Structure 1
Amino acid sequence: MPSIQTQIRIWGRVNSVNVQKVLWCAEELDLAYERVDAGLQFGVNTGADYLAMNPNGKIPLLADGDYVLWESNAIIRYLALQYGAGSTLYPADPRTRGGVERWLDWTLSTLQPAERPVFWGLVRTPPAERDMAAIRKAADEVAGLWRIVDAHLAGRRFLEGEAFTLADIVLGAYARRWYGVEGVAKPELPQLARWHAGLAERRGFQRFVAPALT
């Protein structure tokens, strides 16, 4: 059972990669929280009360007492700063933290836009409606991005050295999607595979990221 009692509430459905990031981070920090299903079939995020907290109408959303925050990467930064004393998640060293920040930004600016057509095309689009030519083209682009990560991981246990950080949570959630989709060619990336296998042993990954893609 989580050992730290908080007033944390998290809105979002568990099959959202952005929600998975937040839940995995909370697990690493051993935080207690209440989760509220929201988004897609659950609705909630289009209601007036929700929009008053997050006018974007997206998930996840965090409330910690009377403090409200949206944007998944901002949320995990906050949780690590607020509750992560002694944790390696968000390093204090400016250069190490700069490396972590680089991957958090790169995921949003570069990886997520490229990955989305592949995931939605193969997981959330019925087979008869899939544009496989477009999906394969997008998958080739994503493979090129994972080659960058694979090269960076050479000689490193985690993305920023020997310590597990927020960067591993964020990219790890997307790597699980990459390895989980079927129907497209994927290059052999030994460093990426080794790193991903190590993440798969962590409790937060197993609880929130490993379940079947939907």
Structure 2
Amino acid sequence: MNAIFDNIFNSPYINEFTATQFLLLVICGLLVGLLITAFYTYRNEYSQGFVITLALVPAIVSIVILTVSDNIGTGIAVAGAFSLVRFRSIPGTAKEIGAIFMAMGAGLLNGVGYVGYAVLFTLIMGTAYVVYNRLDLGRTKDRREHQVLNISIPEDLDFSKEFDDILEEYTSSFRLTRVKTTNMGSMFRLTYDIVPRDPVKQKDMIDKIRCRNGNLEVSVSDIRDDMATL
């Protein structure tokens, strides 16, 4: 049992490595990436591009750490910056960033030769992820469906209480959460957090809002925990 968790290089500071050790790290990194991907895709929305990237990150991080193993601090810095390049242009959700960091952790363990610990870490964290999802950890106790209502209005419209009567009629609760200028400052976009009384009457609510905002854009979307960006 102890042999499973031994360092394949007998030291985290690797002066030289063989082709067999190199291939072992790559293969184990890919297997760990597939494990992490399997856990991440459980009861979760995802894109194919992100899933493929997530599956490759542990192997990539392992090789980065292997090639700069004489300076672990430099390796961690390089691997961290490299694995988060995706989030420079596309906002990452909390779950995506968490999955990336989990893949990085497994890749770091694998890269310094602790293959057994990398697999064990992946199994523990992946199991915790599945259990937390099953328990709906962090989900509000109020099971009513919250939604986001976006209303575009002209800049000369006083929006302070313009739509309150409509929202009181069609929602159980509503709250103005954001006001933003759009279209070079010629319009405002109002964002409300609402709880509809009857989803069937959503069109009636939108039609009444359009009569007030000059038939400008109105949108309603669901609030989902996994869309909270960092």
TM superposition score normalised by structure 1? 0.22
TM superposition score normalised by structure 2? 0.21
**Which structure: greater strand fraction?**
2
